Amino acid sequence: MNPFRFGTIVEGSFFTDRVAETEMLKQKLDSENHIILISPRRFGKSSLVQRVLSQTGRPTIQLDLQYVLSVDDFASQLLKAVFKLFPMRKVRHAMSHFRIYPIISTNAVTGTVDVTFQPTVNGSVLLEDAMALIEKITSPERRLIVVLDEFQEVVKIQKGFDKQLRSLMQRQKNLNYILLGSQESMMEAIFEKKKSPFYHFGQLIRLQKIPYDDFHNYITERLAYNAEAVAEEILQFTSCHPYYTQQLASQVWEMMEYQKIKDDVVNKAIVALVSMHDLDYERLWQNLNRTDRNTLRDLAENKQPLQNRNKATSTSYSSLQRMIKSGIVIKTTNYEIEDPFFNQWIVKNVIQ
Ligand SMILES: Nc1ncnc2c1ncn2[C@@H]1O[C@H](COP(=O)(O)OP(=O)(O)OP(=O)(O)O)[C@@H](O)[C@H]1O
Ligand SMILES: [Mg+2]
């Protein structure tokens, strides 16, 4: 079986490194503090949190705010998660405070629970009741962990939602929140701007790429031929981005294993992956304005655009900010194109 995996949460033998991060998060969860974890997309936030959660063995509720449409939707998703965690007979008595009782239906075949409210009711009442339930079902012995993914969406769901949520969260005891986000500037605004309701709500942790040496070992152990040199070439191309490294390593492994390719296998794998995404990249490029295209061209040529004195720095800066927001560019130690294969597509089609 292919020893590399990408696109899903990774665990077990597919998971590497993050030893210090795992320890740190576990220590923080042993206190009354909350955690805010930020990184660009696909750096491994969910995988890390999953690992930590499974090691703590504590009850957990996880919601992705991307898929929450309104305040009452948040309340009903929260309740659904509670019913998944605890049998209904245990929860029912804890719901005596509910001012509006939800309609709860169970699918007899799948066992899934659905929660709906009368469409006319006031969302903030539902939210208060659902959050009070969370407080009731957690205890000092079995402290609940609530993970809210893509948390930056909190400001988009409904006006005033962030403020109300914060004031309810603030009062809860015996639980920890882990708030994840991939839109760094929005997450920073939420947690670091004095006027924001979530100002200094918890400790902000930035997840980095996986260190070179660990990733190098991980790849080397899983390749049968010329492993060290191949691993180095892979990491050079992906600059240790967790997802793209696994993707390229996976492709290399397949080409070695099934097509018995030995020579220049990393470059062949890159060519295959770039051409697989050719249409997506073309569409992406077509939707960019001229300034952004120039910025990307500079980045692909490995020039840091802000140092390019021929250009008006402010245009270049706002172009970078725009593309960071849309996820095309990320800022690590440098500005870089998030997807190294898109970078390669630009080199192939625009520069050469
Ligand atoms: N610790 C790790 N060891 C090995 N590979 C990893 C690790 N963490 C992440 N990856 C790789 O990166 C991919 C994305 O990981 P994950 O889904 O956890 O990231 P994420 O930051 O939650 O992404 P998103 O922003 O899309 O929610 C995984 O499928 C895997 O290929
Ligand atoms: Mg994730």
The conformational region for residue 10 under phi > 0 = left, psi -120 to 50 = alpha, else beta, is beta
61 C-beta neighbours (distance < 10 Å), count = 21
Whether pLDDT at 320 is above 90: yes
Q: pLDDT tens digit string along 166-195?
A: 999 999 999 999 999 999 889 999 999 999
Q: What percent of the chain has pLDDT over 70?
A: 96
Question: Tell me, what amino acid is at 291?
Answer: T
Indicate whether 193 and 93 sit together in one domain.
yes
Q: Which pLDDT score, from 0 to 100, does residue 333 have? A: 86
Confidence of residue 303 (pLDDT cuts 50, 70, 90): confident
Confidence of residue 306 (pLDDT cuts 50, 70, 90): low
Quote the CA–CA distance of 42 and 221 in Å, as a whole number: 23
Q: Which of 206, 228, 261 finishes a domain?
A: 206
Q: What's the mean pLDDT in 18-30?
A: 97
Query: How many A from CA of 137 to the centre of ligand 1?
Result: 31
Whether pLDDT at 231 is above 60: yes
Residues in contact with ligand 1 (CB, 6 Å cut-off): 5-10, 15-18, 39, 41-47, 182, 242-243, 246
Whether pLDDT at 50 is above 60: yes
Confidence of residue 310 (pLDDT cuts 50, 70, 90): low
Confidence of residue 120 (pLDDT cuts 50, 70, 90): low
Q: What's the mean pLDDT in 226-239?
A: 97
**Which H or E element spans position 179?**
strand 175-181
- Which position has the higher pLDDT, 58 or 317? 58
Domain containing residue 339: 278-351
Residue with CA nearest ligand 1 atom 15: 44
| Burial tier of 175 (Cβ tally within 10 Å: 0-12, 13-18, 19+) | buried
Whether 7 is in a domain gets the answer no
Indicate whether 234 and 319 sit together in one domain.
no
Q: What's the mean pLDDT in 127-153?
A: 95
Q: Which pLDDT score, from 0 to 100, does residue 155 have? A: 96
| Ligand 1 atom closest to 15 (CA) | 3
CA dihedral sign, ordered 339, 37, 54, 168 = negative
Q: Which pLDDT score, from 0 to 100, does residue 116 have? A: 82
Indicate whether 190 and 221 sit together in one domain.
no
The encoded tokens of residue 122 equal 């006031």
Quote the CA–CA distance of 154 and 148 in Å, as a whole number: 10
- Tell me the CA distances in angstroms from 71 to 60, 161, 164, 168, one per residue in order: 21, 7, 10, 13
- The CATH number given to whatever domain includes residue 102 is 3.40.50.300
Whether pLDDT at 311 is above 80: no
Whether 3 is in a domain gets the answer no
| Residues linked to residue 177 through DSSP beta bridges, in sequence order | 146
- Tell me the CA distances in angstroms from 286 to 281, 290, 337, 346, one per residue in order: 8, 10, 16, 12
Whether 13 is in a domain gets the answer no
Q: Which pLDDT score, from 0 to 100, does residue 111 have? A: 77
Whether 1 is in a domain gets the answer no
Q: What angle do CA 254, 256, 261 make, to 5 degrees?
A: 125
Confidence of residue 308 (pLDDT cuts 50, 70, 90): low
Indicate whether 250 and 325 sit together in one domain.
no
Indicate whether 100 and 61 sit together in one domain.
yes
Indicate whether 86 and 190 sit together in one domain.
yes
Q: Which of 276, 309, 330 finishes a domain?
A: 276
Q: Give, rounded to a whole angstrom, the gap between the first and last alpha carbons of the chain.
A: 37
Indicate whether 119 and 79 sit together in one domain.
yes
Q: Collect all residues with Cβ–Cβ distance below 8 Å to 244 and sequence separation of at least 6.
A: 6, 42, 238, 339, 340, 341
Whether 313 is in a domain gets the answer yes
Q: What's the mean pLDDT in 227-238?
A: 98
Query: Is 320:305 a contact under the CB 8 Å cutoff?
Result: yes
| Residues linked to residue 329 through DSSP beta bridges, in sequence order | 337
Whether 272 is in a domain gets the answer yes
Query: How many A from CA of 15 to the centre of ligand 1?
Result: 9
Query: How many A from CA of 179 to the centre of ligand 2?
Result: 11
Query: How many A from CA of 158 to the centre of ligand 1?
Result: 30
Whether 2 is in a domain gets the answer no
Q: What's the mean pLDDT in 16-39?
A: 96
Q: What's the mean pLDDT in 90-110?
A: 85
Q: pLDDT tens digit string along 145-161?
A: 999 999 999 999 999 99
Indicate whether 266 and 318 sit together in one domain.
no
Indicate whether 179 and 314 sit together in one domain.
no
Indicate whether 40 and 188 sit together in one domain.
yes
Whether pLDDT at 309 is above 60: no
Q: Which of 276, 308, 331 finishes a domain?
A: 276
Phi, psi of 114 (to 5 degrees): -115, 140
Q: Which pLDDT score, from 0 to 100, does residue 244 have? A: 98
Q: What's the mean pLDDT in 279-300?
A: 96
Indicate whether 100 and 249 sit together in one domain.
no
The encoded tokens of residue 16 equal 């590497």
Confidence of residue 105 (pLDDT cuts 50, 70, 90): confident
The residue to mutate among 67, 218, 235, 243, having the most atoms of ligand 1 within 8 angstroms of its beta carbon, is 243
Indicate whether 172 and 314 sit together in one domain.
no
Q: Which pLDDT score, from 0 to 100, does residue 14 have? A: 97
Whether pLDDT at 90 is above 90: no
Confidence of residue 307 (pLDDT cuts 50, 70, 90): low
Q: Which pLDDT score, from 0 to 100, does residue 101 have? A: 82
- How is 152-168 classified by DSSP, letter by letter? GGHHHHSTTHHHHHHHH
Query: Is 83:113 a contact under the CB 8 Å cutoff?
Result: yes
Mean pLDDT, the chain, rounded, equals 93
How many separate domains does the chain show? 3
Whether 12 is in a domain gets the answer no
